[in-house]
Structure 1
Amino acid sequence: MQLELRHLEAVRRIAEAGSLGRAAARLGVSQPALSAQLRRIERVTGGELFVRSRYGVEPTPLGEYVLSAARRVLGEMDALTAGTRAAAPHPTLRLGCILLVLVDRLFGHLEEQLPGHEIDLGTEHSAASLTRMLGAGQYDAILYGELADHEVPLPEGVAARTLIAKEPACVRLSAAHPLARQEQIELADLAGETWTALTDDGDGGPEAMADACRRAGFTPTLRYRIDDRRVRWELIAAGRAISMCQPTSPPVEGTVLRPLVGDPLFGRIRLAWNRAAVSEHQAGRLYRAAGRAYLASIPDHTFYRAWWEARPELHPVLD
């Protein structure tokens, strides 16, 4: 194995975080995976780079040497990236998104806000994957969600701005479900249901859902974790599971989307960008494009339109 930039970044993050657990969270990986990666790096460098102490982990003399070189190399790569992008007249903007509902409407607004720019739009299933790829330079900016009080850790050199500060979570269930006839559903009435969620959103969703259900008096049964949203919708349409969803989720055949009484769970949408690749001016235009795409989806949902119009303090400032 040869050392790569991602290995140097891992060493730097461990040193800065002071513990493998915190470094793993910031990198968007599990602690066992980061520990295994560190062992592989140490085999290449020929010795231990960190020792455990009562305060966390501290670099060994060899670790200090590798860390110094890592910071120098990574700093030069950041400068190279920023310089080459600045020299390009219209660099390709690499935008990553979780499969948020606004993505379908985003292209036209991006073309309006960033004329002449080539847009490379990719979708991922996890906020953790998005932030990791943003930190590795695979994306220049990302759109992602967070649930309840969870904050997605962001890489260094990244700025962020909240696009939608609060949106209520809804529930998607089979159109044949007995509760589908109700305009609103009490979360407590969903006790005993089987839930499905993405494999790893990285947005705090499963934890926030479990907390909301416990406050409603029950522990949810989360049986299915599925990356493929089409498979999730088919599972729900068949009546085998239900799922939390955004209030602007598009219609899915065989299912219905219903708001929850009292809004027991909220999410938010954020934009983050690499300051070395995206200027403040470009970030502002990205923000406006995403905001307008989101607002364009609201009229399609009667119950959410009324909720949204009653809360002007939550509306993004797009002018």
Structure 2
Amino acid sequence: MQLELRHLEAVRRIAEAGSLGRAAVRLGVSQPALSAQLRRIEQVTGGELFVRGRLGVEPTPLGDFVLSVARRVLSEMDALAAGTRAAAPHPTLRLGCIHLVLVDRLFGYLEKEFPGHEIDIAIEHSAITLTRMLGAGQYDAIFYGEVADHEVPLPDGVAARTLIPKEPACVRLSAAHPLAGQEEIELADLADETWTTLTDDGDGGPEAMADACRRAGFTPTLRYRIADRKMRWELIAAGRAVSLCQPTSPPAEGTVLRPLAGDPLTGRIRLAWNRAAVSERRAGLLYRAAARAYLDSIPNNTFYRAWWESRPELHPVLDWESRPEPHPVLDWESGPEPHPVLD
């Protein structure tokens, strides 16, 4: 085996995190997989790179040497990527997304904000995969979700901004379901249902759903994990399952979308970008395109339009020139803020 950039990145992550467990989370891999990779790296370097200490893992003298070289090489590669993209007249914009409803309407707005640019958009099933690929330079920017209090860890060299600070989860169920006629549904009334969900992982959704159901007095029965949205909707229309959905989800034949009483589960939508590939100005254009795509989808559901209009503090600010000065506490890498602005 020869050392590759991903091996140097793994060594750097372990040193920065101070433990294999934390480093594995940041890299989006399992701890056993990272441990096995470290053993292979140590076989190539000829000795142990880390030893367990009182506060976690610490680099050995050999580890310190490998780390110094790894940091220098990775820094040079970042500079190379930034320089080549900056020299290109119209570099391809590489975007990664999870299954967010706004993606359906995003393309047209991206073309308006980035005329003449080639745009690549890929859908991933995991927020952790997205952030890992962003950190590795495979994406320039990503759109992803976080549920409840979960925060997706971001790699070095990445900035982030909250697009939508809060949206309530809704439930999609068959139009023939006994609860379909209600204006809103108590989560506890779904205790005996079979649930289906997307295969997304890393956004805190499964854990938040389990917590919300536990507070409502039951443990959800999750039987189907389906990546294809149309297939999920067909399953729901047939009355075989129910599912949590974004409130902006479009109508689907044979199903209805209903709000959950009391908003027991909420999420947010974020934009993150690689600073070496995307300037803050271009990040602002991405933000504006996504915000407009999201706003276009709000009329899908009357109940959500009323919910949204009663909460102006959640609305993204689209007027770039008249935006307020950023609050000194709310920097680009802070967590979700109550008033997202265009930068």
| Aligned-residue offset at 1:30 | 1.7
Residues in 2 aligned to 1:243 and 1:256: alpha-carbon distance in whole angstroms: 11
Q: Indicate the residue corresponding to 2:291 in structure 1.
A: 291
Q: Which moved more, 1:189-198 or 1:11-20?
A: 189-198
Q: Indicate the residue corresponding to 1:118 in structure 2.
A: 118
Alignment partner of 1:99: what SS? Answer: coil
Once the two structures are superposed, the pairs formed by residues 30-45 of structure 1 within 5 Å of their partners are 30-45=30-45
Once the two structures are superposed, the pairs formed by residues 126-275 of structure 1 within 5 Å of their partners are 126-275=126-275
Matched, 1:21 2:30: no
Does the C-alpha gap of structure 1 residues 99 and 68 become closer, same or farther in structure 2, counting only changes over 3 Å?
same
Matched, 1:311 2:311: yes
1:270 maps to a residue whose letter is R
Q: Which moved more, 1:39-48 or 1:70-79?
A: 39-48
Structure 1: which 5+ runs fail to align?
none
Residues in 2 aligned to 1:245 and 1:33: alpha-carbon distance in whole angstroms: 32
Q: Indicate the residue corresponding to 1:88 in structure 2.
A: 88
Residues 95, 141 of structure 2: 8 Å contact kept = yes
2:5 maps to a residue whose letter is L
| Aligned-residue offset at 1:234 | 2.8
2:283 maps to a residue whose letter is A
Deviations 1:69-96 (A, max 9, x none): 1111100000001111111111111011
Residues 98, 200 of structure 2: 8 Å contact kept = no
More helix by share: 1
TM-score (norm 2): 0.90
| Number of aligned residues | 319
Structure 2: which 5+ runs fail to align?
320-343
Matched, 1:53 2:69: no
Does the C-alpha gap of structure 1 residues 201 and 252 become closer, same or farther in structure 2, counting only changes over 3 Å?
farther
Q: Which moved more, 1:22-31 or 1:157-166?
A: 22-31
> Identity across aligned pairs (percent)?
87
Deviations 1:262-281 (A, max 9, x none): 11111000000001100011
| Aligned-residue offset at 1:179 | 1.1
Q: Indicate the residue corresponding to 2:325 in structure 1.
A: none
Residues 237, 253 of structure 2: 8 Å contact kept = yes
Q: Indicate the residue corresponding to 2:10 in structure 1.
A: 10
Does the C-alpha gap of structure 1 residues 228 and 32 become closer, same or farther in structure 2, counting only changes over 3 Å?
farther
Alignment partner of 1:131: what SS? Answer: helix
Residues 235, 241 of structure 2: 8 Å contact kept = yes
Residues in 2 aligned to 1:235 and 1:36: alpha-carbon distance in whole angstroms: 40
| Aligned-residue offset at 1:291 | 0.2
Q: Which moved more, 1:52-61 or 1:16-25?
A: 52-61
